[in-house]
Structure 1
């Protein structure tokens, strides 16, 4: 069996307009724009990364902005429903005020003893802010120049909620391959926790009667879990195979190495290494300031740039990039 994962590494979704996407995640949520590159498998599409000051694993939500002309997704079984960030327990009022002042509808609820603020991004992707004591233990690097005061900044991921037709197939991949354990169950929701616990270690499953979802703008493409190195990834490949699941070979994504496997419930799982990180081609102070390409695409820079939509960089209302 593979070693238990520490938890979530990143979440990747599909956006519409790139400018609107960046303005929201930086200007409204206060995440730093840590990398501007392209989808390695579709170089006419940007790949944006938003995270803490350094883009630490466990803080990054990433996007393929397809533009507003891209095909709209349809929510259904086999998709991520919500991506939840941890916030300090005394930050609830700050975030309610901040979001509502931007005309964002916020739903407030209690779940497993924690206060949850649910809302959607401009493309309809479900987001949550969870006031949790785990936020105090998060290994994140505050972005001192961001638009959100350091005391209220997002503390990396708390959990993701996966919508499935039935619990067991996806639960088996979580427990038998990634080392998650069932922690709690309430109101039709099952919470699984990575063995190490701590921030970013929870996965929630909910069942849905909706048919299989369709990938497109406004949906999550995949979720990624942490691996220490490629040796661990090989063990995950073996563990997936032991469950009758086929995973990819290790893929070089420049900032981490990845394997991919579609679990039985239809959700695409990635397992990504924590190294080398985003500072391999930009100084930390310059992260996200220019289009960076991996070495194997650099010779095509001119044609790649010609295909990409117009983008001016994120707008920050009350801070500096």
Structure 2
């Protein structure tokens, strides 16, 4: 019973086509699944990641065309890190962002690693972090058709930052329930790792006295963390409930099994199984090329497609 690292992050966007263009053409990720929100199939749910959309590489987006811009604040995921390897990779991305007119900042240090902050078209705060000699999960797969040269490609998700009013409560849950390690502290930032010494399951807790965030375009809806299978997921459900926290119970998302709850500062956290994965209903070579619907929605395909603007 151990959290194996990040599984995916889900965000809100105002324009699915613009997001698809940015994450494919600018960041060089593969769109591994073009689907819909299973709870509201009138909106797209897009998944980007490595060749297979491996757990720990997935960035997903719900399209809310009329959503207002996010008002940043506490009780929210405030920054997402994407891993690259080496200072040369950061230099490449700095030049690429300049050439492609991507909003970005200056080089900085984050959690002891060199980083390059930037924003996506919705203003989502992101940064590229130099992994250095750190490890990545062995099953992450490079996508050979990425427009980014192999040595500079984004590897997967790194540190994820929580901005919270009561950091001690979130820290207690990470350590006592999920078994995270306290790596080190840096001023107002405290770093916790699911795999000791590794960035691919790292959560950074930052104290924030701000008002509660008002989500919208460019906000993070939730973080999902990895569990191995449904049996383990059900045991986590029991343990989380023992802490006095409400859960959704196990939810079948077809591509994985899920469980949702809010940690003590109100951030939505999902536990998701590693499988069966995105090739459950598509060829690995054709992932993301057509609208994929879970079995319970397939009879509604014509109705659903009629309400969606096609994505190129």
Counterpart of 2:81 in structure 1 is 84
Q: What is the TM-score of this pair, normalised by structure 1? A: 0.93
Counterpart of 1:124 in structure 2 is 123
User: How big is each residue's C-alpha offset from its partner over 1:103-126, in whole Å with a ceiling of 9 and x where there is no partner?
Assistant: 223222113331011111100111
CA distance in 2, matches of 1:54, 1:216: 29
Corresponding residue SS for 2:116? strand
Task: Give the unaligned 5+ runs of structure 1.
Answer: 313-321
2:183·2:197 contact (CA, 8 Å) conserved in 1?
no
CA distance in 2, matches of 1:251, 1:134: 37
1:261·1:270 contact (CA, 8 Å) conserved in 2?
yes
2:72·2:214 contact (CA, 8 Å) conserved in 1?
yes
Quote how far apart the aligned CAs of 1:169 are.
1.4
More displaced 10-residue stretch of structure 1: 176-185 or 33-42: 176-185
Counterpart of 2:218 in structure 1 is 218
Quote how far apart the aligned CAs of 1:207 are.
1.2
Counterpart of 2:234 in structure 1 is 234
Counterpart of 2:259 in structure 1 is 259
Q: 1:34 to 1:281 in 2, by over 3 A?
A: same
Quote how far apart the aligned CAs of 1:31 are.
0.5
Task: Give the unaligned 5+ runs of structure 2.
Answer: none
User: How big is each residue's C-alpha offset from its partner over 1:25-61, in whole Å with a ceiling of 9 and x where there is no partner?
Assistant: 1111110000000000110000000000111100000
CA distance in 2, matches of 1:242, 1:172: 14
Name which structure has the greater RCO, CA cutoff 8 Å, separation 6+. Answer: 1
Counterpart of 2:269 in structure 1 is 269
Counterpart pick for 1:17 among 15, 18, 27: 15
CA distance in 1, matches of 2:264, 2:153: 35
Quote how far apart the aligned CAs of 1:136 are.
5.1
1:13·1:219 contact (CA, 8 Å) conserved in 2?
yes
1:45·1:64 contact (CA, 8 Å) conserved in 2?
yes
Write the mapping of 1:106-125 to structure 2, written as runs, cut at 5 A.
106-107=104-105, 108-125=107-124
CA distance in 2, matches of 1:219, 1:17: 13
CA distance in 1, matches of 2:262, 2:112: 32
Quote how far apart the aligned CAs of 1:20 are.
0.5
Q: 1:111 to 1:196 in 2, by over 3 A?
A: closer
Quote how far apart the aligned CAs of 1:209 are.
1.8
Counterpart of 1:315 in structure 2 is none
Counterpart pick for 2:94 among 93, 96, 119: 96
Corresponding residue SS for 1:55? coil
Q: What is the TM-score of this pair, normalised by structure 2? A: 0.95
Corresponding residue SS for 1:133? coil
Corresponding residue SS for 1:93? helix
More displaced 10-residue stretch of structure 1: 193-202 or 25-34: 193-202
Q: Count the aligned residue pairs.
A: 309
CA distance in 2, matches of 1:134, 1:39: 37
CA distance in 1, matches of 2:259, 2:227: 10
CA distance in 1, matches of 2:121, 2:155: 22
Q: 1:295 to 1:199 in 2, by over 3 A?
A: same
Quote how far apart the aligned CAs of 1:311 are.
2.1
